[in-house]
Amino acid sequence: MKGDDFLGIYAATVNPMRDDYSIDEAALCQHVSRVASVAGIRGLLINGHAGENFLTSASEKKRVIELCRANVAKECLLVAGINAENSLDAANQAKDAAQAGADALLIFPPNSWALGPHPETVLQHHRFVIEACALPIMLYQAPVGAAGMPYKPELLSQLVQLPRVVGIKEGSWEVATYEANRRLVKRIAPQVAVMASGDEHLLTSFILGSDGSQVSLAVIIPEVIVALETAVKNDDMITARRLHDIIYPLAKAIYGTPPGSFATARLKACLQLLGRIPSAVTRPPIGPLPRAEVEQLGQLLKQLEIAA
């Protein structure tokens, strides 16, 4: 498969959990089925940051992929996140994902890279995953504020030329860097899809150019995210700005409110308030959200007229 095969909007799903912090499989199946059935959703990003991938075991990750594959249409592409500090663990996760039915992999940078990894370390980590299976590969460009985790232009140029790399989730969360990275990738590896990731500036990213998007707000307002991309493609900026006015305050409340590590807890709180998952439980040490913040999210959903 090529980058062109992966164009479109992907919803980054959550993993609903019970009070004992185990994954609620029934709720997960309902969650992914509902989101995947929305017209215009090309696929799902599962076991991503929104799916608490750094807090779930390898066996849980594989089970999530199996359940998702069994509960969405075969045309719905499943991109499975690979997040491991150890390259051998990452390679094993890749093998599991291929066996469980994933269509592609998204390789997240290990958290230890915040200290600033050697470029060859980054390349070697990706090569281990690439050599472990035959699935297409997507890269993750971390936010500019994530210390040493974002890939510098020289390293990004090497990564996009690795075998089977078909896309990049461009999560710089900063417009100028997004545009610079997109221009760089399209010059060096034009076959690689560059997908917008910053929920707050999706409108700007779509205007600058994007090959789709992988965002967690698409589990709350999938129709709005799809409609925004369509409006920009049709040069309908009046509609695009109206939709952006729905997306922006929600993105600020979920991602732009300290601490940023509570983003998934906020996503789950919104989904519970909307009646789409039974519980907002997140795995320790994340959450629970203060009651006042949950109430504020509820008020925002009502103001934005987001229905249950």
Q: How confident is the model at residue 287 (pLDDT cuts 50, 70, 90)?
A: confident
Rounded average pLDDT over 145-164: 95
Whether 193 maps to a domain, the answer reads: yes
Q: What is the CB neighbour count within 10 angstroms for residue 123?
A: 15
Whether 82 maps to a domain, the answer reads: yes
Residue 264 has pLDDT above 70, yes or no: yes
Whether 147 maps to a domain, the answer reads: yes
Q: What is the pLDDT of residues 111-136, one digit of tens each?
A: 999 998 999 999 999 999 999 999 99
Look at the block and give the residue holding tokens 């990452």. Answer: 90
92: its two tokens: 């094993």
Q: What angle do CA 99, 135, 59 make, to 5 degrees?
A: 35
Highest mean pLDDT among 21-30, 251-260, 279-288: 21-30
Rounded average pLDDT over 235-258: 96
pLDDT at 3: 65
How far is the CA of 189 from the CAs of 5, 156, 160, 194, 308, in angstroms?
15, 11, 6, 10, 42
pTM of the model: 0.96
The answer to whether 109 and 169 are in contact (CB under 8 A) is no
Whether 269 maps to a domain, the answer reads: no
Whether 91 maps to a domain, the answer reads: yes
Q: What is the pLDDT of residues 14-35, one digit of tens each?
A: 999 999 999 999 999 999 999 9
| DSSP, residue by residue, 119-152 | HHHHHHHHHHHHHH----EEEEE--TTSTT-SPP
Whether 294 maps to a domain, the answer reads: no
Whether 258 maps to a domain, the answer reads: no
Residue 306 has pLDDT above 90, yes or no: no
The answer to whether 130 and 137 are in contact (CB under 8 A) is yes
Average pLDDT, the chain: 95
